[in-house]
Structure 1
Amino acid sequence: MKTLGRLALAAIGIAMAPALAHAQSGKITSLKIATEGAFAPWNFTGAGGKLEGFEIDLANDLCKRMNVTCEIVAQDWDGIIPALNAKKYDAIVAGMSITDKRLEVIDFSRPYAQVSNGIVVAKNSPESKALGPVARFNLTSQPAESEAAVAKVREALKGKTLGVQTSSSHSSFTEKYLAGAVEIREYKTTEQYDLDLAAGRIDAVIGDTTALRGTLDKPEFKDFAVAGPGFSGGVLGRGVAVGLRKDSQELKGMFDPAIAAAIADGTVKQLSEKWFKVDMTPQG
């Protein structure tokens, strides 16, 4: 997935000093924001190395609301949190869910999107039949139902090879609930596990439903579909939000009202329907 241009951009993002600037009054006037650039349709590198996607549009909108100048750079997913804490940039806007594990090392804004996971398999495969129709469960509010649904997934995929993106909430879910039943194969990017799934080197992938929709839109996946139980809550987090350093309370105080305004005036709804074809606006 990552082109040489994208890798070069990521390297530049790491090498440059943080762009958090203050006027003499102490007001924040500019920001450097990191995104993965490899997680369509949330964020991806389009033609000519240009960053595109839901979060690119949203980040630019939030920057206007906060009256700051923003530079958005690509950063490999597995190093995105360490680089934030090393002050290589000021914020992360990269499909990152709020989880207890991440809250140990970084802070978050209020959520700007709500997601769940899903499993993609070949349509006519034994795995598809065993998983059954799509159903949704919340690990936090439906513990008993979720436990039964997880057991169904474990049995349906027993002995199979499952692809998941490394250092993601979905890899945490897979390790907690499916380890021992399936062979877990981790990938740096979703595009990498797409390639192995299409080539038959793995039997299924698990990930964010919106990213999986992007996978299924590709011609080579016409014979694949989402099947079986999908989950939200618990280890999968409390919504997608802007990642911030623990010492960035001033910045959190800027992002939170900007996100609230973008939700209130329908901008988040409009952008999510543009990129995902569904409304991803957080509820409550």
Structure 2
Amino acid sequence: MKTLLLTTAFAIAGTAAMAQDVVRLGTEGAYPPYNFINDAGDVDGFEIVLGNELCARAELTCEWVTNDWDSIIPNLVSSNYDVIMAGMSITDERDEVIDFTQNYIPPAASAYAGMDEGADLTGGVIAAQVNTIQAAHVAASGATLLEFATPDETVAAVRNGEADAVFADKDYLVPVVEENADLMFVGDDVPLGGGVGAGIRESDGELREALDAAIQSMKDDGTLNALIIEWFGEEAAIYE
């Protein structure tokens, strides 16, 4: 992917954001295609490619750290890393604890997947990953919420009969449904959240500004849309 020349203002913003030698990017490593561990044992996925490009444009030296989803915000606040890039939807509740960059995935649909097109989505048992906007939605829907630490476990709960359906980002579920003939999308898509963005400590305003500028530059030159399509397919929501 070609990197544009930085403007003077952008370069200054990136330099000012460097409060330490290395910016640590925290991800889950378990949410393909956003982030996952590849066959070589390395972190990979859409957010890894994107994060590396953002760091290059902002002239930051970055390294990746993996962290379980259920403690990913507390460990950011505790300074175990500096940025979260882990398929995290921007919500008002999270924004009370941390700051976000502008979104790098536009607001998109969440969806249900099950093994029966007649699955009871409002009175049955629905699996979702813990501490997600999908889990909060299920809890408020009247269905019985069954929470798991990882997205793989939510799908397994449906396939082994523990849950009637799983509720998750549709971008995550599309390849899961395609690869498992016993699963299908059920019910209607549900729009949730304000898109996916990078989470940053509230005290790190200069770092947020540097990453914001890098994200905006990728939106402006079309490379962000190209990356979204590369990882999520031609039907993915992109920026106009």
TM-score grouping bracket, smaller chain normalisation: 0.7 to 0.9
- 1:142-221 matched pairs, under 5 angstroms: 156-176=120-140, 178-179=141-142, 182-218=143-179, 221=180
Find the aligned partners of 2:39 and 2:138 in 1 and give their Cα distance. 33
Is residue 225 from structure 1 mapped to residue 184 from structure 2 by the alignment? yes
Letter in 2 for 1:58: L
Is residue 247 from structure 1 mapped to residue 203 from structure 2 by the alignment? yes
Q: What residue number does 1:101 align with? A: 93
Bigger CA drift: 269-278 or 254-263?
269-278
| Other structure's SS at 1:57 match | helix
Find the aligned partners of 2:30 and 2:229 in 1 and give their Cα distance. 20
Find the aligned partners of 1:27 and 1:120 in 2 and give their Cα distance. 42
Q: Please, what is the CA RMSD of the aligned residues?
A: 1.6
Aligned partners of 1:111 and 1:282 also within 8 Å: no
1:192 positional shift: 0.7
| Other structure's SS at 1:48 match | coil
Aligned partners of 2:121 and 2:187 also within 8 Å: no
| Other structure's SS at 1:246 match | coil
Is residue 276 from structure 1 mapped to residue 232 from structure 2 by the alignment? yes
| Other structure's SS at 1:217 match | helix
Find the aligned partners of 1:27 and 1:207 in 2 and give their Cα distance. 34
1:126 positional shift: 2.4
Letter in 2 for 1:265: D
Unaligned stretches of 5+ residues in structure 2: 1-14
Letter in 2 for 1:119: Y
- 1:261-272 matched pairs, under 5 angstroms: 261-272=217-228
From 119, 130, 139, the equivalent of 2:112 is: 119
Aligned partners of 2:229 and 2:236 also within 8 Å: yes
| Other structure's SS at 1:253 match | helix
| Other structure's SS at 2:40 match | helix
Unaligned stretches of 5+ residues in structure 1: 1-24, 128-155
Find the aligned partners of 2:51 and 2:122 in 1 and give their Cα distance. 41
Letter in 2 for 1:173: H
Note closer, same or farther for the CA distance 1:81–1:230 as it changes in structure 2 (3 Å cut): same
Find the aligned partners of 1:101 and 1:33 in 2 and give their Cα distance. 22
| Other structure's SS at 2:36 match | strand
- 1:232-279 deviation digits (Å, cap 9, x = unpaired): 2xxx32111010001011001101110011111122111111111134
Higher helix proportion (structure 1 or 2): 1
From 35, 56, 71, the equivalent of 2:48 is: 56
TM-score by length of 2: 0.87
Find the aligned partners of 1:99 and 1:44 in 2 and give their Cα distance. 23
1:159 positional shift: 3.7
TM-score by length of 1: 0.74
Q: What residue number does 1:18 align with? A: none
- 1:159-211 deviation digits (Å, cap 9, x = unpaired): 421100100111111122x13xx221001111011112122221101010000
Aligned partners of 1:268 and 1:280 also within 8 Å: no
